[in-house]
Structure 1
Amino acid sequence: MWALGRAANPLRSQGCHVGAFRACCTKFIVQSDYIENAVGITEPAELVAGAPLLPKRLYHSPSIHVYLHPGSRSLSSQAGAKSSGDEEELEDGFSELETPASIDSIEESNTGEEIDEELVSGPDLSDIDSVESLAEASQNELDLSDADADAEAEAEAEAGATDEESKKKRFPLDLFRAIMNAPHVGSALDKWVAEGNRLGRSEISVCMINLRKRRMYGRALQISEWLEKNKQIKFVERDYASHLDLIAKVRGLQKAEQYIGKIPESFRGEIIYRTLLANCVVATNVKKAEEVFNKMRDLDFPITTFACNQLLLLYKRFDKKKIADVLLLMEKENAKPTLFTYRLLIDTKGQSNDITGMEQVLETMKAERIEPDIFTQFVLSKHYINAGLNEKAEGVLKEMEGCSLVENRGACRNLLPLYAALGKADDVKRVWKACEPKPQLEECVAAIEAWGKLGKIEEAEAVFEKMCKTWKKLPTKNYTALLRVYADHKLLSKGKDLAKRMADSGCRIGPLTWDGLVKLYVEAGDVEKADSILQKAVQQSSLKPMFNSYMVIMDQYAKRGDVHNAEKMFHRLKLAGYAGRIRQYQTLLQAYVNAKTPAYGFRDRMKADNIFPNKAVAAQLAQVDAFKKTAISDLLD
């Protein structure tokens, strides 16, 4: 118990006092049985003796349990308004809030047949610290799979199917294929019904799941709208939640909020709001996430571990000082931490280079009889490697491998990048050899990235060619893996040839490809060409480029002290919907610092966007303050 208290020492680099994590987490562990994944407040709250630790809203109130340094903020982004957040993607059945996408669940996955280029199989472990990846890694938390099973059982009962018939028809893909092959979703559904085909929950569920796995949210939304309009099925709360999720993904949070008002009040429950909360976190909208969370409290919905995990996920990225407050709230509401909760805390500790604290959190997790999964082991290994503790990292890798790679095949895609990070080419070769006879797409991507990290371009190319021979059509992700390898090694000519090959193969050119091309030209020193590619992509497509694509270019302008172009990229980031992230402000400030130019009104700009400077940004602001006083300026004045 005391070990966890020490492990939960707050992140001093983020400004937490030593007592913050200790008090709330220590108590946490005693009570936990198992572990799981712009608006402020109306008035300040002050704790007095005998008062509750946390008021109903998410105030920050100093107490003997939680004490943050002056200047730290509560769970609300801004004091002085009304308020109330969550982040997992929804996985349907006709409600899809939790099952991670898996290549194995798709009929054509490993048969050598054509694969849709939008297929996504799960979190990219090479970027496990990103909000999006951790979000995908925790999709099981929404726990709507029971509704899917119930819906399918109901559909089979309606059709009078026997057990044997159910097994044969367990995954009815005919509707999904019809939707995929039709130019218009509505006409395809009209034709499907007109031909007398069955359109029950089982068919809808499978179709929606496969569309979501390919991130084809637009088509999934059209299906949901058609079903609601035609009253083909009787909507329940989870169906409305699924529809809400799709609106948020396709049309944004504002439209999603408006849709809530159209949902019958009897179905406007906790699932609806946690779905909106999840999308606020996906959109990295801290202010709106807190507003939704507080709204859930106002409506007297139970404070679930899922909702708290979403706040942890958000604050892990944007404001680590608030993590202690969320943990205290979980203790107060008896929301038991989950495996995902611990994974977030372990990753947070690792990011702050607190390896001792990270290990103590792990010990506490095990004491609660929760064993680390592959994702958690990956996070541990990555932080050991970053800290130079290679022996400890290798020990975790051996645990991941188990007795046999053949028997523990699922670990291979995670082992490849880790062994590459350790510089162990022989182990990368050994793991890839276990996969090579019947490789999976994700293993191929991991192998390409691993060989690229080791500088073995020919080996990476050989894996790519094997994929081309195994599958008739490759997803975009598999091309961009090799494209990034070429970018890392400044192989501009090879990268351009690969991009042309992608186009010739009929591969859809989207954000992943744009990101690879941008990096390719930036690494080759042609920032203007990279900027031009990104600008053309935005003009020619309705898809949104990745945040990293903008930042790679903006970083280069900042290094040059090119304030004009850095400001231009900053503006384009906001137009693309990437607001509320301190990194873009930090990069823009660096452009002013390098240009030795004062940044007039920059603090006000940040305040208007509800961004508060951390220690590094505060130092930058001091450097570009047009009115700062120095010894010389005082004399001259």
Structure 2
Amino acid sequence: MLLQSTFIQSPLHQHVSLSSTSSHPFSIPFGFRGSTLVRTITMHNHPVITCSISQVHSYGTVDYERRPPVKWNSVYKKISMMENPELGSATVLNQYENDGKRLTKWELCRIVKELRKFKRYKLALEVYEWMNNRGDRFRMSTSDTAIQLDLIAKVRGISNAEDYFLNLPDTLMDKRTYGALLNAYVHGRVREKAESLLDKMRSKGYATHPLPFNVMMTLYMNLKHYDKVDSLISEMMEKKIPLDIYSYNIWLSCRGSLGSVEKMEQVFEQMKLNRTINPNWTTFSTMATMYLKLGLLGKAEECLKNVESRITGRDRIPYHYLISLYGGIGNKEEVHRVWNIYKSVFPNIPNLGYHAVISSLARLDDIEGAEKIFDDWLSIKTTYDPRIVNILMSYYVKKGFLENAEALFKQMVEMGGKPNSSTWEILAEGHIRERRISEALSCLKEATSAERSKNWKPKPANMTSLLKLCEQEADTASREVVVGILRQMGCFEDEAYMSYIPISNRVPNGEELLAEKGKIDNDDDSNISDGAEMLLNQLQGSL
């Protein structure tokens, strides 16, 4: 049970105000754990079994926006808002202590928690390294070690995390550090190493609770190995390892992903029979997503009512899913209603919230509503998130209003926004639709060098259309540029991706590609996750 509390915390356990909440669903306070306990609290006439919580500090769902600032918070802001992040966290920490002030380990770990919550992993790792250089002041626990391993995996890659793990002294090798390495493998989809490590955890007696099984099941869900999910569930039952709320929600998603409404509902009924488990908002949003995918809109809408009734504390994430799923159902009135409730509950809405509502309204063809909320966002934004702009730009392009998309793009740049790869590709798509080959290629070249373009690949549908246009215009030079872009972005190494690109003859490096089989839309601005993806985000998003 201790590993569970130190390894992961997410809205799946947000029954009461004892669980951690944030604008991102996860924050894993590895380093904040003393002894643990389980509390049962009654809310709304229902017993609620909470997850393990610390006796030292519980990080409740307090509205931090209304709390008076504390010392750690001021230091956190200085680190997170540095004009030049390359200077590193140590610069701020050294300056603070040079001014005659001292930070406690709890305060430093709290800063790490916030940095991780907003995915500032490099800065968070630098805080721990600063503490490591002051070993006489700060004693590192296995929980601290686990969180450092996790940060190293995210910042420097899995191989560096492995080296860190292998060099740990025996006193710091326990279920927490093993669990952190397992999560790194799962997050990187390194299946064989993850399976081998889980076997080692079994042999050491570290797999006697649900967490490592839940983490492993997320990998199998990601890889669509649904039979292996069932196998792990069976193992847990045979070994009398109790299924927790995570286990049931993953199992529900697995059954729904297989297209079996009956089996998914059987899992739900079994879940209700377990008196230690209360279905939470994630349970019902998972089921709503599956019903939506299967076209059972009535059942999906019924589940969404259950989602809303189970929102507790200061958690924004359920509102994002409600808005998105109501958009998927096609219920514009409910999108607006939930959005208005959301605004009334929270004085500040994060970019993710605006992304959810603008995307849903655009999907429902309520462009006036989407534009109005976009203007509201412009008036209060703290950062210019290109993903929000991309929603409207994509809508304009698909409706044939390229001029509108270009005007919005120009406005973004003038206001200091940085286009991402998808922004440039949206413009390229508009030019492709108007048969402007050179303009489309110019935008795609910009996309390959945009910030964070390393993991971007152009949509196969766009590249297919552009290649066909080059063929129709007998423009072999432009065709070779398209092939070069595909090669530059590593598309040729992705056989599944390339099977959708119709290149009829041999390309310069001699690779023979399959004919087009269909259309893949890999737009990174897509707003609705399926049930499996939602659970994967919640279990891994901030690990």
Match of 1:589 in 2: 499
Q: Is the 8 A contact 1:495 1:520 kept in 2?
A: yes
SS of alignment partner, residue 501 of structure 1: helix
Match of 1:221 in 2: 125
Superposition map of 1:521-536 within 5 A = 521-522=428-429, 525=432, 533=443, 536=446
Distance 1:358 1:450 in 2: 27
After superposing the two structures, state which structure 1 stretch, 201-210 or 169-178, moved more.
169-178
Match of 1:236 in 2: 141
Task: Deviation per CA, 1:530-587: give whole Å up to 9, x if none.
Answer: 676565455464x354456566656667989999889766755559xx98xxxx4223
The 1:314/1:406 distance shift into structure 2, 3 A limit, reads closer
Match of 1:204 in 2: 108
Match of 2:162 in 1: 257
After superposing the two structures, state which structure 1 stretch, 316-325 or 351-360, moved more.
316-325
Deviation (angstroms), 1:366: 1.4
Equivalent position to 2:211, from 306, 318, 323: 306
1:325 aligns with 2:238: no
Superposition map of 1:448-459 within 5 A = 448-459=358-369
Match of 1:350 in 2: 256
SS of alignment partner, residue 451 of structure 1: helix
Task: Deviation per CA, 1:156-183: give whole Å up to 9, x if none.
Answer: xxxxxxxxxxx96667312112323554
Q: Is the 8 A contact 1:473 1:505 kept in 2?
A: no
SS of alignment partner, residue 230 of structure 1: coil
Unmatched 5+ residue regions in structure 2?
13-21, 36-52, 59-66, 472-478, 519-543
Q: Is the 8 A contact 2:421 2:446 kept in 1?
A: no
Q: Is the 8 A contact 1:566 1:588 kept in 2?
A: no
Work out which structure has the larger RCO, using CA pairs closer than 8 Å and 6 or more positions apart in sequence: 1
The 1:237/1:534 distance shift into structure 2, 3 A limit, reads farther
Task: Deviation per CA, 1:190-248: give whole Å up to 9, x if none.
Answer: 22222121221232123212221221111112222222123241111111111111111
Distance 1:264 1:566 in 2: 52
Deviation (angstroms), 1:249: 0.4
The 1:390/1:177 distance shift into structure 2, 3 A limit, reads closer
Distance 1:216 1:295 in 2: 31
Deviation (angstroms), 1:361: 1.4
Equivalent position to 1:383, from 271, 276, 290: 290
Q: Which amino acid aligns with 2:234?
A: L
Q: Which amino acid aligns with 2:157?
A: G
The 1:99/1:377 distance shift into structure 2, 3 A limit, reads closer
Distance 2:403 2:272 in 1: 50
Q: Which amino acid aligns with 1:499?
A: F
Deviation (angstroms), 1:518: 2.2
Deviation (angstroms), 1:390: 1.7
Distance 2:242 2:442 in 1: 50
The 1:546/1:256 distance shift into structure 2, 3 A limit, reads same
Distance 1:365 1:504 in 2: 53
Match of 1:48 in 2: none
Q: Which amino acid aligns with 2:361?
A: W
Q: Which amino acid aligns with 1:440?
A: I
Q: Is the 8 A contact 1:221 1:243 kept in 2?
A: yes
Percent pairwise identity: 22
The 1:528/1:454 distance shift into structure 2, 3 A limit, reads farther
1:146 aligns with 2:146: no
Distance 2:199 2:366 in 1: 52
Match of 1:122 in 2: 24
Deviation (angstroms), 1:484: 4.5
Deviation (angstroms), 1:332: 3.6
Match of 1:628 in 2: none
1:464 aligns with 2:413: no
Distance 1:340 1:403 in 2: 16
Distance 1:357 1:565 in 2: 49
Distance 1:328 1:383 in 2: 23
Match of 1:440 in 2: 349
Q: Which amino acid aligns with 1:122?
A: H
Deviation (angstroms), 1:250: 0.9
Deviation (angstroms), 1:422: 2.2
Q: Is the 8 A contact 2:327 2:361 kept in 1?
A: yes
The 1:215/1:556 distance shift into structure 2, 3 A limit, reads farther
The 1:360/1:455 distance shift into structure 2, 3 A limit, reads same
SS of alignment partner, residue 33 of structure 2: helix
Distance 2:332 2:454 in 1: 34
Matched residue count: 458
Distance 1:406 1:99 in 2: 13
1:361 aligns with 2:267: yes
Q: Is the 8 A contact 1:451 1:459 kept in 2?
A: yes
Q: Which amino acid aligns with 2:228?
A: K
Deviation (angstroms), 1:451: 0.7
Q: Which amino acid aligns with 1:312?
A: M
Equivalent position to 1:293, from 198, 204, 226: 198
SS of alignment partner, residue 133 of structure 2: helix
Q: Is the 8 A contact 2:390 2:426 kept in 1?
A: no
1:420 aligns with 2:331: no
Distance 1:570 1:173 in 2: 45
Distance 2:468 2:32 in 1: 49
Deviation (angstroms), 1:597: 7.8
Q: Which amino acid aligns with 1:353?
A: G
What is the TM-score when the length of structure 1 is the normalising length? 0.61
Q: Is the 8 A contact 1:531 1:553 kept in 2?
A: no
Match of 1:53 in 2: none
Match of 1:274 in 2: 179
Equivalent position to 2:410, from 500, 517, 532: 500
Superposition map of 1:42-81 within 5 A = none
Q: Is the 8 A contact 1:96 1:144 kept in 2?
A: no
1:315 aligns with 2:220: yes
Match of 1:394 in 2: 301
Q: Which amino acid aligns with 2:124?
A: A
SS of alignment partner, residue 172 of structure 1: helix
Distance 1:416 1:305 in 2: 31
The 1:394/1:273 distance shift into structure 2, 3 A limit, reads same
Q: Which amino acid aligns with 2:286?
A: V
Superposition map of 1:31-50 within 5 A = none
SS of alignment partner, residue 211 of structure 2: helix
SS of alignment partner, residue 419 of structure 1: helix
Deviation (angstroms), 1:465: 0.8
Distance 1:326 1:566 in 2: 44
Equivalent position to 1:178, from 57, 75, 78: 78
Deviation (angstroms), 1:286: 1.9
Q: Is the 8 A contact 2:285 2:321 kept in 1?
A: yes
Match of 1:98 in 2: 9
After superposing the two structures, state which structure 1 stretch, 411-420 or 517-526, moved more.
517-526
Match of 2:527 in 1: none
1:340 aligns with 2:240: no
SS of alignment partner, residue 595 of structure 1: coil
Unmatched 5+ residue regions in structure 1?
1-35, 37-85, 102-119, 124-135, 155-166, 606-615, 617-637
Q: Which amino acid aligns with 1:362?
A: F
Q: Is the 8 A contact 2:292 2:300 kept in 1?
A: yes
Superposition map of 1:12-31 within 5 A = none
Task: Deviation per CA, 1:92-115: give whole Å up to 9, x if none.
Answer: xxx8853569xxxxxxxxxxxxxx
Superposition map of 1:534-549 within 5 A = 536=446, 538-539=448-449, 541=451, 543-546=452-455, 549=458
Q: Which amino acid aligns with 1:146?
A: R
Q: Is the 8 A contact 1:270 1:301 kept in 2?
A: yes
1:190 aligns with 2:94: yes
